[in-house]
Amino acid sequence: MLRHLRSLQDFTKEELNRFIERAIELKHERQVGVQHHQLVGKTVGLIFEKPSTRTRVSFEVATYGLGGQVIFLSSKDTQLARSEPLKDMARVMDRYVDAMVVRTFGQEVVDELAHYSSVPVINALTNLHHPCQILSDMMTVIEKKGPIENLKIAWVGDGNNVANSWIQAAEFFGFELILACPEGYDPHPDILHKGRSNASKPIVLVRSPQQAVAEADVINVDVWTSMGQEGQEDTRLAAFRAFQVNSALLAKAPASAIVMHCLPAHRGEEITEKVLESKQCVAFDQAENKMHMHKAILELLIAT
Ligand code: CP
Ligand code: NVA
């Protein structure tokens, strides 16, 4: 059956759990040298209109690791740059590839490609969502802290794409989520409203980073200026200055809290060098887990 991963809402909690369980198994299998062949004869098309290190490389390595092949297309490589309609792109690419992994600006681009594609379309980040990131981040949380539904997860900073996907995760998984965002930088209102209406635990929005981290098991931080917001750096630097994750903020949190950053990090802005390099920070484990999660996603969506 054709399934797209446009946002976490495309799957049930049980299916999302299956991604996480399978990624943990695949991580173990890699450690003990199991060879995989699930994607032999399959080709994955990566269509990236924004830069990427982790997501691109981990999807490529994941595909090769399962025996498949990859074609990478940046924005300047396709006729999309010359305004070829998305519905035509979708119906051409789906004749060639077995899945399209798409990183772009508007969520509507992913939605339209998915609407016309006969192969799975996987959202590798839009301005609105970063679902693959949150799947692998939940895997990291579970590895480090145990069952996620028992935890209190904090978000400090911009109510951006990654924050929106955390809200969707909280809606399904029933962990407590407390977001500290400066006024004017809240998560998407519809996503927040829906999350709050459906979640079994509170999803709280506050203005104080200290309040957000006070009882947190997990502290999440991301850049203050996301891709596509270039030119807003000065305004954002001023708005977010009090939201830096630094030693003084961590002193307000339980000593057992872990710090997560999806990377890339801007040391001295949203996080200090000291915190990023500290034992509490699991950013590089998060980065590794993207590869295991992307294997699980590809296997469950396109392996025969
Ligand atoms: N975390 C993440 O998506 O990183 P990249 O932008 O390098 O892919
Ligand atoms: N919020 C960031 C995430 C980068 C992985 C961005 O969209 O640029």
Q: Is the CB of 223 under 6 A from ligand 2?
A: yes
Distance 197 CA to ligand 1 centre (A): 30
Could you tell me which residues come within 8 angstroms of residue 244 by beta carbon, excluding any fewer than 6 positions away? Answer: 269, 270, 271, 272
Q: Domain extents for the chain?
A: 8-130+288-303, 133-286
Q: Residue 276's pLDDT band (boundaries 50, 70, 90)?
A: very high
User: Average of pLDDT values for 270-299?
Assistant: 98
Question: Which ligand is nearest to the Cα of residue 137, counting in written order?
Answer: 1
Ligand 1 interacting residues, C-beta cut-off 6 A: 52-55, 125, 133, 262-264
Q: Is the CB of 117 under 6 A from ligand 2?
A: no
Cβ-contact 102, 47 below 8 angstroms: yes
pLDDT for position 90:
98
Question: Which ligand is nearest to the Cα of residue 290, counting in written order?
Answer: 1
Q: Residue 81's pLDDT band (boundaries 50, 70, 90)?
A: confident
pLDDT for position 82:
87
Q: Residues of the chain with pLDDT > 70: what percent?
A: 100
C-beta neighbour count of 101 within 10 angstroms? 28
Sheet holding 218-221, edge to edge: 203-206, 176-180, 152-156, 218-221, 258-261
Residue 123 has pLDDT above 90, yes or no: yes
Distance 50 CA to ligand 1 centre (A): 10
pLDDT digits (tens, 9 = 90+) for 222-234: 999 999 999 999 9
Mutate to test the pocket of ligand 1, among 290, 293, 297 (most ligand atoms within 8 A of CB): 290
Residue 304 has pLDDT above 80, yes or no: no
Distance 35 CA to ligand 2 centre (A): 32
Q: Residue 250's pLDDT band (boundaries 50, 70, 90)?
A: very high
User: Average of pLDDT values for 99-120?
Assistant: 98
User: Average of pLDDT values for 239-253?
Assistant: 98
Q: Is the CB of 262 under 6 A from ligand 2?
A: yes
Q: Is the CB of 162 under 6 A from ligand 2?
A: yes
> Which residue has its alpha carbon closest to ligand 1 atom 7?
53
Asked if omega into 264 is within 30° of 0 (cis), the reply is yes
Residue 209 has pLDDT above 90, yes or no: yes
Domain with residues 133-286, CATH architecture: 3-Layer(aba) Sandwich (3.40)
Distance of CA 166 to the CA centre of its chain: 8
User: Average of pLDDT values for 145-167?
Assistant: 98
User: Average of pLDDT values for 242-269?
Assistant: 98
pLDDT digits (tens, 9 = 90+) for 5-64: 999 999 999 999 999 999 999 999 999 999 999 999 999 999 999 999 999 999 999 999
User: Average of pLDDT values for 90-101?
Assistant: 98
Question: Which ligand is nearest to the Cα of residue 129, counting in written order?
Answer: 2
Q: Which CATH number fits domain 8-130+288-303: 3.40.50.300, 3.40.50.1370, 1.10.10.60, 3.40.50.1820?
A: 3.40.50.1370
CA-based nearest residue to 173, from 20, 5, 3: 20
Mean pLDDT of the chain: 97
